[in-house]
Structures are given as C-alpha cells and as structure tokens.
Amino acid sequence: MNRTVNASTGEPVAPGGCIGILGGGQLGRMLATAATELGLTVHVYCPDENSPAFDVAAEKTVAAYDDAEALARFADNVDVVTYEFENVPAETVRILTEHAPVRPGALALATAQDRLAEKTFIAEQGIRTAPFRAVDDAAGLAQAIADLGTPSILKTRRFGYDGKGQTRIEAGPAPQAALDEIGNAPAILEGFVPFEREISVIVARGQDGAIAAYDPVENIHKNHILDRSFAPATLTPGIAAEAIEIASTLVRELDYVGVMGVELFLLPPDGKGDKDRLLVNEIAPRVHNSGHWTMDACLVGQFEQHVRAICGWPLGSAARHSDAVMTNLIGEDAADWTALAADPGYAIHLYGKAEIRAGRKMGHVTRLFPIGERPAVTPN
C-alpha cells in the first residue's frame, strides 16, 4: 500500500489510511470498528488465528510478537501502529518503530509494564500512591513487611492483571511462601489501603498536546474482574477535578499520545475536606474496560478518541450526553444474549468470541439515564 502519512513530518493519517493494531481481542475489535467509522482501514497483528478483531479488519497477520520479519512487513504496510494490551515486548516496539510510528510510545509502555517503575514515576510527579517497596528475595520481602506492616499486597512487577500475580499477606506467613505463591518473580509490596471506593478516569492526549478527559466513574469488581462502571462517579466537584488533573498530568509527563486509563482509590473522609483523598492505583496505556460506557453515553467514545489521537486528528468532545451504567458480560452471562437484546434499555456489545469460558470477558451492556438520574451504586 501507499502510505497516507509521512512519519517524519507528523502529518495526520487521512481517511483511506491504515492503522496497525497489535492484539486481536475485544479492545482491538472495538478500535477497528471505530477506525472504519472514520473512513480508515485496519490491519490487525496477532498470533491467535481465532482473534475476534480479525472479523472487522481489512487485513490480518497471524504471527508471533517476536517474528522480526513479520513485524517489519506489517509495519511497512500501515501508517501508524497502536496496541490493545500493555505487555508488548520492548524488542517488538523497537522493530516496529524502524518502519512506522508507534503510539503510544515506548516510554509509556516501559512505565506501565513494571509496577515498580510505574509507582516510582507516579510518585516523582508528586502524586500519591499506596506505600511500596521493591522485593527481589525473601530477605527483601521480610524487610518490606517490617517497613509497611500487614495486611499488605505482594504483586509481581510484570504481567499481572484482573487479580492475577498477586497475593495478600497477613501477619505471620513466611516470606518465602508468599514469593512461591507468585512464582518467585521480581515483585513489589504495597501497603494496604483501606479505600472507600475505586474510581477511574479515561483521558486522551493528542499529538498537539491537547487533552480531553471523560468524567470519572466508580467501579465495582467481582472476583477481581471489573463488573460494573457507574458514570459519573458520585464525587464532590473538587475531587472530580483533582482526579482529572492527576490523569492529565500523567499523560502530559509521559508525552503520551492516545487514550489511557487511570485507576484511583478514594480514601474515606478524615475531617479535612477533599485534600489528599486520592491515590493512584495503576495506569493502563490503552483503551480501558472502565471506559466502555463512553461508546453509548458520549458523542465521541474512547475508541474513536484513541484513533483520532494516534492519527493526528483533533480530539473530540469527551462530554457525556447521558449518565450510564456499564456491566461486563463474563462467561455464561453472555449466553443469555436473547434476553439482553430484548431489553429496550440496553445497548448490547458482544465480542465475537467463539468459546464461552468462566472468567472470560464476552461482551458488555450499557444502560443510559438522563443526566442526574443515574441509580445509586449497589455493591455485589
């Protein structure tokens, strides 16, 4: 194909151009769908030949993420590369960058892939996190427990998600037993945070530095997997503004281009007003599950916003026209698709995955409400 953008000049990718997406899951599928709505084509690269994103892509490459020749051919045939997951190998990014711009860039990936690097970066911006210590061995874990106390959470530095790669440490257990539980991987110990609620902010930054943030949402989890997101979160104006400013600071300091998810803990009130009630839990350098509500409740949803950003287009409005509750369809939840589709209050999104498995994200539904009429958050 002939490229529609010159990577050296940074000109926008015009309609008719091609976006390369690493990863063929539901996020890649929804990115591809959003791109086609803007007149762009999509080439998906994924080692899984049954990837659901292939169903909506003009081109596909089935190859490993360390296949240098396949990566080079892929990147030579697209205008810009993005990804749907953060654990993209550094060598993969290096190879791709020699052939096409990769957005978001290597700095954001390297920061988000390592929990120690992530927490350190966030703290360097003057933003609060849970207290943390690096852990390399049993002696280091023993010292970290002495510093932070119990309960505390031991997490692998890399590759953990949806509750995987972590264990809670109570008083008493031997440090080596806790390390064995996470496979003796390099780790980080985080002090336990008695938070009141988890919220998140979906934020986008364009190539021109413009930033657009969606309203913070409140998230409810079930079995360590996001169950529901309530938009907007019930927050004071000051806390909502601070959450958006935190997210904006992070994308600005990372020189980030694209959409990022920022998860935060809201601490209980301490009689001092809104000050110091927010801690950042983690960042996700990609479109995010807690932003799926934006597809139906905003003029420009997170997937279109990401495409706009990486292609050098102006960012769209992040304002919502409705309140919303987004519910994930996990495993057998999706088997009841006829009832879900029959409910006139639901916008239903199914991900085209052939096999239903326990704990697998199969789709989501969103129910909209007039502004100010969103129902109260209900725990599981």
Read off the pLDDT of residues 292-332 as tens digits, 9 standing for 90 and up. 999 999 999 999 999 999 999 999 999 999 999 999 999 99
Phi then psi for residue 165, to 5 deg, are 70, 30
Please state the rounded mean pLDDT for residues 275-289. 94
DSSP-assigned states of every residue in 18-48: EEEEE--SHHHHHHHHHHHHTT-EEEEE-S-
Evaluate whether the domain defined by 18-102 bears CATH number 3.40.50.2300: no
Phi then psi for residue 90, to 5 deg, are -60, -40
Homologous superfamily of the 131-191 domain (CATH): ATP-grasp fold, A domain (3.30.1490.20)
Please state the domain extents for the chain. Answer: 18-102, 131-191, 197-369
Q: How far apart are CA 380 and CA 375, in angstroms?
A: 15
Q: How many CA atoms lie within 13 A of 197 on its CB side?
A: 18
Residue 271: what pLDDT?
Answer: 73
Give percent of the chain above pLDDT 70.
Answer: 96
Q: Is the peptide bond before 47 cis (omega within 30 degrees of 0)?
A: no
Residue 25: what pLDDT?
Answer: 97
Q: How far apart are CA 118 and CA 120, in angstroms?
A: 5
Evaluate whether the domain defined by 197-369 bears CATH number 3.30.470.20: yes
Residue 2: what pLDDT?
Answer: 40
Binning pLDDT at 50, 70 and 90, where does residue 7 land?
very low
DSSP category for residue 290: G
Residue 174: what pLDDT?
Answer: 74
| 75 DSSP β-pair partners | none
Q: What length is written for the chain? A: 380
Read off the pLDDT of residues 360-370 as tens digits, 9 standing for 90 and up. 999 999 999 99
Between CA 79 and CA 88, with CA 83 as vertex, the angle to 5 degrees is: 120
Please state the rounded mean pLDDT for residues 191-214. 96
Name the E strands within the chain: 18-22, 41-45, 59-61, 80-83, 132-135, 152-156, 166-169, 187-191, 197-205, 211-213, 217-222, 225-231, 258-266, 278-284, 323-330, 346-350, 361-369
Read off the pLDDT of residues 69-124 as tens digits, 9 standing for 90 and up. 999 999 999 999 999 999 899 999 999 999 999 999 999 999 999 999 999 999 99
Binning pLDDT at 50, 70 and 90, where does residue 161 land?
low
Residue 274: what pLDDT?
Answer: 77
Read off the pLDDT of residues 211-251 as tens digits, 9 standing for 90 and up. 999 999 999 999 889 999 999 999 999 999 999 999 999 99
